[in-house]
Chain A
Amino acid sequence: MEIPEKILRAILAANTPRYIIREFESLKELPELYKEVKLIDASATENALTSLAIEYLRIIGSYFYDREVFDALSKNWSDNRHYLSKVVSTLNNLVRPNEMQISINATQAESNITVGQASNNITVTSP
């Protein structure tokens, strides 16, 4: 498979795990690339950088699109694999976008109910 240069650059230039995650996340082809890497054995790739890119794609792609796969991968991850283990732990500590949205909506809903009850059911909504 063809690894976009942006991904290779991100791996090489990264000083922090979040840098890699941001660069991967901003790639519009990420969903398609993730579908492809699910079927590839990274260790069978001769080029070390390509192999690493595939592993990153599998981890970061699963975080965004395939939670069960990500959870399974992150449980088995060794602490001694370059940046990858740090990327996994950073992802584990990030709030997933969907969960964050649900949490915000829930807070808003609770807030609306409280305000409504306190003011004789006049509904006040956040902008």
Chain B
Amino acid sequence: MPTQIGSKPDSDIILHTRLRTCIQNLQVWSPLVDPNISKAMFESEFPRAVLRTEPTEVYNCHGMVFAARRTKIIENADVQTILNEDSYHEIPFMEVLEGDIIVYFAGDGDAEHSGVICRIQDLQGVRMIFVVSKWGALGEYIHKHNECPYVTQNMKFFRAA
């Protein structure tokens, strides 16, 4: 079921890190586009990605990972602040476990995407990591960590202590 609740002005909520630094956020309540057209555009390119939830603009990927799906976190600086102040530390690829998170960094350092590790498979010595993440204005997808619309050259895995 779509989570949009009618159409009302954008809003925000009070959101802090563990160390009580305020995190800017944005809840967008009016749907952007026809969800079916949007889904079709990406699902043809990533046919193995499994749709988990319908599109919503109330939260984004960082809001899913760091704010329990309540709102969007869109400033790169805020993502960095959360990683620092919520005691996240980087995990090597071979030590990643379910529940860890992945952050996709662009060349300019922008944290353009994030997700939660939901499944790890070892197929004949090849480690495959599956992620649940929200793709922009679309829904949440379960996908291989390197099969999504975001840059996959600089992915980092983190675990909060």
Contact = CB atoms under 8 A, between A and B. Distances in A.
Given A13-B138, A15-B61, A48-B33, A80 B10 contact: yes
B32 A12 contact: yes
Given A18-B76, A80-B9, A12 B136 contact: yes
> Which applies to chain B's interface (DSSP): helix, strand, loop or mixed?
loop
B149 A9 contact: yes
Contacts, number: 77
Interface string A4-16: 0100110111111
B113 A15 contact: yes
Interface in B121-155: 134-138, 149-150
A22 interface: yes
B110 A19 contact: yes
Interface residues of B, number: 34
A33 interface: no
B33 A13 contact: no
B41 interface: yes
A18 B33 contact: no
A59 B38 CA distance: 23
A86 B38 contact: no
> Which applies to chain A's interface (DSSP): helix, strand, loop or mixed?
helix
Given A13-B42, A13-B138, A80-B10, A86 B26 contact: yes
B111 interface: yes
Given A9-B42, A13-B149, A80-B10, A19 B106 contact: yes
A52 interface: yes
Contacts of B149: 9, 13
B32 A49 contact: yes
Contact of A48 (B32, B42, B75, B108): B32
Interface in B54-98: 57, 60-62, 72, 74-76
> Ordered nearest first, which 4 A-B pairs have the shortest CB separation?
A13-B136, A18-B110, A49-B33, A13-B149
Given A12-B38, A49-B32, A86-B26, 13 more contacts: A11-B32, A12-B33, A13-B135, A15-B60, A15-B61, A15-B72, A15-B74, A16-B111, A16-B112, A18-B108, A22-B108, A82-B28, A82-B57
